[in-house]
Structure 1
Amino acid sequence: MRTACFVDGYNVFYGLVAGTRYKWLNLPALLKHIIRVEQPDTELKAISFFTSGVKPSLASRGNLSKEAQDTYLRALIAQGVTVHYGRHQLEPRCAPRFVNKETPPSRLDQVPIWKLEKKETDVHIAISMYRLAARQAQLPAAERIQQLVLVSADTDLTPALRAIQEDFPDLRLGVILPHREGMKRTLPGSLRNTAHWMRQVVTEEELASNQFPDRVPTQKRPALKPSYW
């Protein structure tokens, strides 16, 4: 079954590897493994990775964080992953003051904050999935993608999956939740209801066994695993 994956990079980072020693994740290898467990006859033909660039001024390690992200993306690209870039938007806002969990938020007691939002990623994923689905009818049967897999837990993408399900019923849909083993996460039921199958947890063993070598060859200089990863 010829398969294309669409990966929400933000979800993958914070759901699977943030705060762990598994940041140098060989994502293509991990996805091939998971998909073949779920669908043994699968052939992974394409991976699209959607992300936004790190803002050094807000990152815990400043420019080092941006350099680490850039290096990792070069490693992915060297493995045939197509990377799509969105952007971050930082704006001043007001939000209700947090007192404690027992005190409900009040619009009458607000404090100024900086609000950081990722822009264009969700819409880009949705449009890319739908456009790929629409193109398949124009291809010879032997070349058509037969399955789309979303790697995200973002329920904002549910309408896109539902539209693909309704308009292209011959396409199989899968969802891989980037939820690391041992972390308590809410199961996004709306995504589950629009997919033929869902992988709910990625185990620590799977993360550990699907890491890049410290040095990944690229067309230019090699991508070297960041020292603090």
Structure 2
Amino acid sequence: METHVYIDGFNLYYGLLRGTPHKWLDLERFCDQLLPKNDVRKIYYFTAKVDARPHDPDQPTRQLAYLHALETLPRVEVHLGTFMSSVVSQVVVDTDPATGRYLRAGGKPVIKTDAAGTPVKAWTFKSEEKGSDVNLAAYLLRDAYQENCACAVIISNDSDLLTPIRMAKADCGMTIGLVPPRPKGSVELKRLADFKIEPRVHLLASSQLPPTLQTSQGMVHKSANW
């Protein structure tokens, strides 16, 4: 089947790539190996440009090099959302003094309270990625209603995609595949998909871009930290 792949970049990174030496991922080769029986025509990659952090000032440089590297792959389209940052007052969860991990009771985090039983609050810096899930849903539905492909494969754990996936299946008869970056992803997404593929580590290792690439912005190099 003619197939389009829709990748939630942050889901992929935090669910599958973080902490591995496989971040310099060739998305075309990865998708072709995931779907050897499908004709993968287009790969959408949805992400947002990150900001420098005190503990990792080079994070934007690494990401930009990777985005430039993806420009060399003719079947890949990169679509950028945005980050929104704000300072908000939030309740504090209680922690275990021995481990530092937050406590849970009845499957829910335990809220820290003062002597009067009032929830303790603290000012926190909150950074949220906006747009990737909406962009993914929009491109999925456009392809479904325009009959641009017979099969859509979604690399994400985001349950916010349930409604657009249902619409693509019910209204257009689109076949939906799911590649969950985290083993404990959305149960609803897994039930809704027509087929599911577990991404194996060996596919990541065998789907790496060359360490140096010529791009429209000049030569880019794989980061030594990657």
Residue in 2 that maps onto 1:193: 191
TM-score by length of 1: 0.86
Q: Greater share of strand residues, 1 or 2?
A: 2
Judge conservation of contact 1:91–1:115 (CA < 8 Å) in 2: yes
Q: Hey, what's the Cα distance between the residues in 2 that align with 1:71 and 1:34? A: 25
Judge conservation of contact 1:59–1:65 (CA < 8 Å) in 2: no
**Aligned sequence identity (%):** 26
Q: Does 2:148 align with 1:153?
A: no
Decide whether aligned partners of structure 1 residues 194 and 97 sit closer, same or farther in structure 2, where only a CA change above 3 A counts: same
Judge conservation of contact 2:92–2:119 (CA < 8 Å) in 1: no
Counting only pairs closer than 5 Å after superposition, residues 83-94 of structure 1 correspond to structure 2 as: 83-94=78-89
TM-score by length of 2: 0.87
Q: How many aligned positions are there? A: 209
Amino acid at match of 1:145: C
Q: Does 2:43 align with 1:47?
A: yes
Judge conservation of contact 2:9–2:47 (CA < 8 Å) in 1: yes
Judge conservation of contact 1:214–1:224 (CA < 8 Å) in 2: yes
Q: Hey, what's the Cα distance between the residues in 2 that align with 1:26 and 1:45? A: 15
Structure 1 segments unaligned to the other structure (5+ residues): 137-143, 180-184
Residue in 2 that maps onto 1:116: 127
Residue in 2 that maps onto 1:140: none
Residue in 2 that maps onto 1:141: none
Q: Hey, what's the Cα distance between the residues in 2 that align with 1:125 and 1:216? A: 27
Q: Hey, what's the Cα distance between the residues in 1 that align with 2:30 and 2:82? A: 26
Q: CA deviation at 1:84?
A: 0.5
Counting only pairs closer than 5 Å after superposition, residues 4-15 of structure 1 correspond to structure 2 as: 4-15=4-15
Residues 55-88 of structure 1: CA deviation (Å, up to 9, x unaligned): 11x36421x2111101101111211211101000
Q: CA deviation at 1:194?
A: 1.9
Judge conservation of contact 2:68–2:217 (CA < 8 Å) in 1: no
Amino acid at match of 2:177: G
Residue 86 of structure 1 aligns to a residue whose secondary structure is strand
Q: Which runs of 4+ in 1 moved over 3 A?
A: none
One of 71, 96, 108 as aligned partner of 2:65? 71
Q: CA deviation at 1:195?
A: 1.4
Structure 2 segments unaligned to the other structure (5+ residues): 96-102, 113-117
Decide whether aligned partners of structure 1 residues 221 and 158 sit closer, same or farther in structure 2, where only a CA change above 3 A counts: same
Q: Hey, what's the Cα distance between the residues in 1 that align with 2:15 and 2:187? A: 17
Judge conservation of contact 1:175–1:197 (CA < 8 Å) in 2: yes
Give the aligned CA root-mean-square deviation in angstroms. Answer: 1.6
Residue in 1 that maps onto 2:208: 211
Q: Hey, what's the Cα distance between the residues in 2 that align with 1:211 and 1:15? A: 18
Residue in 1 that maps onto 2:22: 22
Decide whether aligned partners of structure 1 residues 132 and 30 sit closer, same or farther in structure 2, where only a CA change above 3 A counts: same
Amino acid at match of 1:186: K
Q: CA deviation at 1:223?
A: 2.2
**Greater Rg by CA:** 2
Judge conservation of contact 1:165–1:194 (CA < 8 Å) in 2: no
Residue 217 of structure 1 aligns to a residue whose secondary structure is strand
Decide whether aligned partners of structure 1 residues 59 and 178 sit closer, same or farther in structure 2, where only a CA change above 3 A counts: farther
Amino acid at match of 2:78: V
Q: CA deviation at 1:98?
A: 2.5
